[in-house]
Amino acid sequence: MERDLLLTLYHRMLRIRTVEERIKQEYSSRNIRMAVHLSIGQEAVAVGVLSAARSSDGCLSTHRCHAHYLGKGGDLQRMVDELYSLDTGCAHGYGGSMHLFDKQVNMWGSGAIVGGSVPMAVGMGLALKQAGTDNICVSFSGDGGVDEGAFFESLNLAALLNVPILFVVENNGYSTITPQAVRQAAVDVCAKARSFGVDSLVVDGNDVVQAYQTSHHLIEQMRGDRRPRLIEMKTFRLCAHVGPGSDFGDGRRPEEELAQWMPHDPLRVIAAQIEENLPASGALLREIQDQVTAEVKAVFESAKQRFEEANAREQLAAPRPPDPNRV
């Protein structure tokens, strides 16, 4: 892989990780007044797939959408403003963490209903086809989304109408804290897709290089034949299902799994690939880290300042005693 592309993938993944680690830190202030679903450990999926797509390609996401929004090129400041419920947010402060939208880069939205965006993505993909472009639509869902009937209806319709849609299933093995094998009699996602005639592949979702190369190959095929494809990305969530905490150590998920997956942390994987392909790259990686840290710090400080100013104006307009139990 080319040097510049490898470093770009690292930068994009690190940026997502740094943003979400900062969200974890800020959450205890209770100024982010909403549920947040973090993608820590799953960054390679979003970055690998969306770096292979164009800005003119469409994208629809899930409740765990921060990485997809940023991977698509969504505006970071507007995303963080949305988390602080500011009217300068990407959904004007009404959508929150699970409803991110950026028309400029064709990030068409995300939603809290599991599997709910998949049928919409089929419609968007069909619209792109009817418009006569060679653009495609990327539809993200998790293995939990595969539990939903709408997922299979979408596969059927996409195959029937030859819709240029790339179904990306981020299989982290859990729907909330319930393992896939407990929920699904047949766990082979690709076999399910092939039963509808949709070509499908399984990819290591923690290896961003593999995710990028596979996605690029399939997307280029789709630009030509205008038919759907599916990628099942095997990955692992290193954080809690929801919120800044952890699912480990309290019986919800076994700590042994965390120990098995930590060496496969996607940022560790790409750092090792960079060191192997670009000797003496340590200084370069530190420069990227410093740049990302500074950017994320500035974005959050800007949002926090405007949030506090807005709260002060609200208090002046309608004073009220503080509520220690507010969410």
Domains of the chain by residue range: 3-317
- In the chain, pLDDT over 70 holds for what percent of residues? 95
Distance CA 27, CA 41 (A): 19
Q: What is the pLDDT of residue 320?
A: 59
Q: What is the pLDDT of residue 325?
A: 62
Q: What is the pLDDT of residue 323?
A: 63
Q: What are the pLDDT digits (tens) for 52-99?
A: 999 999 999 999 999 999 999 999 999 999 999 999 999 999 999 999
The helix/strand/coil state of 53 is coil
pLDDT band at 317; cut points 50, 70, 90: low
DSSP code at position 253: B
Q: Which candidate, 114, 74, 87, places its Cα nearest to that of 98?
A: 114
Phi, psi for 240 (deg, rounded to 5): -70, 160
pLDDT band at 110; cut points 50, 70, 90: very high
Supply the mean pLDDT for the chain: 93
Phi-psi region of 99 (alpha: psi -120 to 50; beta: other; left: phi over 0): beta
Q: What is the pLDDT of residue 179?
A: 86
Mean pLDDT of the region 189-212? 97
pLDDT band at 251; cut points 50, 70, 90: confident
Phi, psi for 287 (deg, rounded to 5): -65, -40
Q: What are the pLDDT digits (tens) for 258-281?
A: 899 999 999 999 999 999 988 878
Q: What are the pLDDT digits (tens) for 132-177?
A: 999 999 999 999 999 999 999 999 999 999 999 999 999 999 898 8
Q: What is the pLDDT of residue 261?
A: 92
Amino acid in the structure at residue 205 = G
Within 8 A by CB and 6+ apart from 284, the residues are: 7, 278
Please give the CATH topology (third level) of the domain spanning 3-317: Rossmann fold (3.40.50)
